[in-house]
């Protein structure tokens, strides 16, 4: 049986470790990189090198940024009374788009029994220390509204309970409900149930 060059196998194996890249795709990508101009392939290698050198993890909120503390943590105009706890640094941009001006805390994941992710694998302890030191008026647990996100929010609420109650800090969860533009006839029962539970007063 003919064997392939060791370096090609090594590249395929590397690519195969990337999320969502199976062995077939890894093989296809490896051969694509061998087919294109050498310069083109090296640009990818250099882009990875540059982004790894330029982007740091913020030591306060665990957001990714060119500086540590990140531009959000070091922005004096941000509302420090509000701390939004999110799973992934990619979500920062989503909340920024909404006009949110408070601070963030990135968990770097969520609890998952299936994937063996435990509280100590997340930035849970840093969150507890931060809340005790910075004493925001509100900590909003903005993990995803799915099974694992809910489980993560519940655990954080439990761990935060004692210190936040003592300091009068509100712990909240993102409201859920009907997506704008949706129709009541079409949304799922669980969304409708959440919408009823999360109803709010209507100002006249």
* Nearer to Zn ion among residue 69 and residue 109 (C-beta): 69
Strands (E), the chain: 56-57, 64-65, 79-86, 102-106, 138-141, 170-173
User: With binding defined as CB under 5 A, does residue 61 bind Zn ion?
Assistant: yes
User: With binding defined as CB under 5 A, does residue 153 bind Zn ion?
Assistant: no
Are the C-beta atoms of 109 and 131 separated by less than 8 Å? no
The C-alpha atoms of residue 24 and residue 33 are separated, in whole angstroms, by: 14
Query: Which stretch of DSSP H or E encloses residue 98?
Result: none
User: With binding defined as CB under 5 A, does residue 58 bind Zn ion?
Assistant: yes
* Nearer to Zn ion among residue 11 and residue 73 (C-beta): 73
Shortest CB 159 distance to Zn ion, Å: 21
Determine how many CB atoms are found less than 10 A away from the CB of residue 142.
23
Among candidates 62, 115, 68, which has minimal Cα distance to 87?
62
* Nearer to Zn ion among residue 58 and residue 85 (C-beta): 58
Shortest CB 105 distance to Zn ion, Å: 9
User: With binding defined as CB under 5 A, does residue 63 bind Zn ion?
Assistant: yes
User: With binding defined as CB under 5 A, does residue 73 bind Zn ion?
Assistant: yes
Q: Which residues bind Zn ion (CB under 5 A)?
A: 58, 60-61, 63, 69-70, 73
């Amino acid at each position: 049986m003919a064997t392939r060059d060791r370096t090609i196998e090594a590249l395929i194996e590397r690519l195969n470790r990337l999320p969502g890249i199976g062995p077939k795709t890894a093989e296809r990508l490896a051969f694509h990189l061998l087919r294109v101009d050498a310069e083109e392939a090296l640009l990818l290698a250099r882009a990875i090198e540059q982004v790894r050198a330029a982007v740091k993890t913020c030591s306060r909120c665990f957001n990714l940024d060119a500086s540590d503390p990140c531009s959000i943590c070091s922005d004096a105009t941000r509302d420090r009374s509000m701390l939004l706890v999110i799973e992934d640094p990619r979500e920062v941009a989503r909340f920024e788009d909404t006009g949110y001006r408070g601070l963030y805390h990135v968990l770097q994941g969520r609890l998952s029994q299936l994937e063996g992710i435990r509280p100590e694998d997340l930035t849970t302890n840093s969150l507890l220390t931060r809340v005790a030191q910075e004493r925001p008026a509100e900590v909003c647990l903005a993990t995803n509204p799915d099974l694992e996100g809910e489980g993560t929010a519940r655990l954080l609420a439990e761990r935060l309970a004692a210190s936040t109650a003592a300091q009068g800090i509100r712990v909240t969860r993102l409201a859920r409900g009907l997506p704008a533009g949706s129709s009541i006839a079409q949304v799922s029962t669980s969304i409708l149930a959440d919408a009823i539970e999360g109803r709010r007063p209507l100002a006249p």
